[in-house]
Chain A
Amino acid sequence: MVIYREEYRLYNFGPHHPFSPVRLEMLTSLLQALGVWKAPLSPPEATREEVLTVHSERLVKRVEAASRGELFPDLEHYGLGTGDTPVFPGMDRAARILVGGTLEGARRILAGEKRVLQLGGGLHHAQYDRASGFCVYNDLSVAIRHLTGAGLRVAYLDMDVHHGDGVQWIHYEEGEVLTLSLHESGRYLFPGTGHVHEIGRGAGLGKKLNLPLEPFTEDESYLEVFEALVPWALQAFRPDVLVVQAGADAHFLDPLADLLLTTRAYERLFRLILEYAEAYAGGRVLFTLGGGYSLDGTVRVWALLYHIFHGLPLPERLPEGWLRAWEARLGKPLTPTLHDPEGAYPEIPRREEIAKRNRLTLERLTELLAPHLLH
Chain B
Amino acid sequence: MLVKDVMKSPVLTVGPETTLEDAYRFLLEKGIRHLPVVEGERLVGIITDRDIRLATSHLNPQGPCPTCAPVAEVMTRGVVTAHPLDPVEEAARLMRERKIGCLPVLEDGRLVGIVTGIDLLDALLRLTGVTEPSGRLEVRLPDRPGELARLTGFLAGRGVNIHSLLSYPEEEEAVRAVVRVKTMETHLLAEALRREGFQVLWPPKKPW
Chain A residues near B (Cβ < 8 Å)? 18, 76, 79, 82-84, 125, 132-134, 162, 165, 187-193, 215, 252-253, 255-258, 344-346
Question: Is B161 an interface residue when CB atoms closer than 8 A count as contact?
Answer: yes
Cβ A84 vs Cβ B130 within 8 A: no
Taking A190-B133, A190-B135, A192-B134 as contacts, is the C-beta distance between A18 and B208 under 8 angstroms? no
Minimum CB distance partner of A162 in chain B? B184
Bound: A344/B129 CA distance, A:
36
Kindly name the residue among A84, A189, A255, A345 whose own CB sees the greatest number of chain B CB atoms within 10 A: A84
The minimal Cβ–Cβ distance linking B160 to chain A, given in whole angstroms, is 5
**Chain A interface SS verdict (over half):** loop
Given A188-B135, A192-B136, A345-B208, are A256 and B182 neighbors across the interface (CB < 8 Å)? no
25 contacts between A and B (CB under 8 A): A18-B188, A83-B159, A83-B182, A83-B183, A83-B185, A84-B182, A84-B185, A125-B133, A132-B133, A133-B184, A162-B184, A165-B133, A187-B136, A188-B135, A188-B186, A188-B202, A189-B136, A189-B203, A190-B186, A192-B136, A255-B187, A256-B185, A256-B186, A258-B204, A346-B208
Q: Which residues of A contact B180 (CB under 8 A)?
A: 192
Given A252-B208, A346-B208, does the pair A191, B133 have CB atoms closer than 8 Å? yes
Contact of A192 with B208 in the complex, beta carbons under 8 Å: no
B124 CB, nearest partner CB in chain A, Å: 14
Q: Lowest 9 A-B CB distances belong to which pairs?
A: A191-B133, A190-B135, A345-B208, A83-B159, A188-B136, A190-B184, A133-B184, A132-B133, A192-B130
**Contacts A252-B208, A258-B203; A189 near B185 (Cβ below 8 A):** no
Mark B residues whose CB is within 8 Å of A: 129-130, 132-136, 158-161, 180, 182-188, 202-204, 206-208
Contact B134 A190 (CB under 8 A): yes
Q: Using CB atoms, name the residue of chain B closest to A216.
A: B204
User: In the complex, A215→B184 CA distance in Å?
Assistant: 15
A residues in contact with B187, CB < 8 Å:
255-257
Which of chain B's residues have a CB closer than 8 A to the CB of A189?
Answer: 135-136, 186, 203
List the B side residues contacting A134 at CB < 8 Å.
184
Give the Cβ gap from A48 to chain B, nearest Cβ, in Å: 25
Closest to B160 in A: A83
Tell me the bound Cα distance from A189 to B135 in angstroms: 5
User: Given the known A-B contacts A82-B161, A188-B186, are A344 and B202 also in contact in the complex, defined by CB atoms under 8 Å?
Assistant: no
Structural contact, A255 and B188, CB atoms closer than 8 A: yes
Contacts of B208 in A (CB 8 A): 252-253, 344-346
User: Chain B residues near A84 (CB, 8 Å)?
Assistant: 182-185
Q: How far is the CB of A198 from chain B (nearest CB, A)?
A: 12
- A234, B126: Cα distance in complex, Å: 35
Chain A residues whose C-beta falls within 8 Å of the C-beta of B130 in the assembled complex:
192-193
Chain A residues whose CB sits within 8 angstroms of the CB of B133 once the complex forms: 79, 125, 132-133, 165, 190-193
Contacts of A344 in B (CB 8 A): 208
Chain B hits for A345, CB < 8 A: 207-208
Assembly CA distance A76 to B133 (angstroms)? 13
How near does chain B come to A128, taking the closest CB pair, in angstroms?
A: 13
Min CB–CB distance B183 → chain A (angstroms): 5
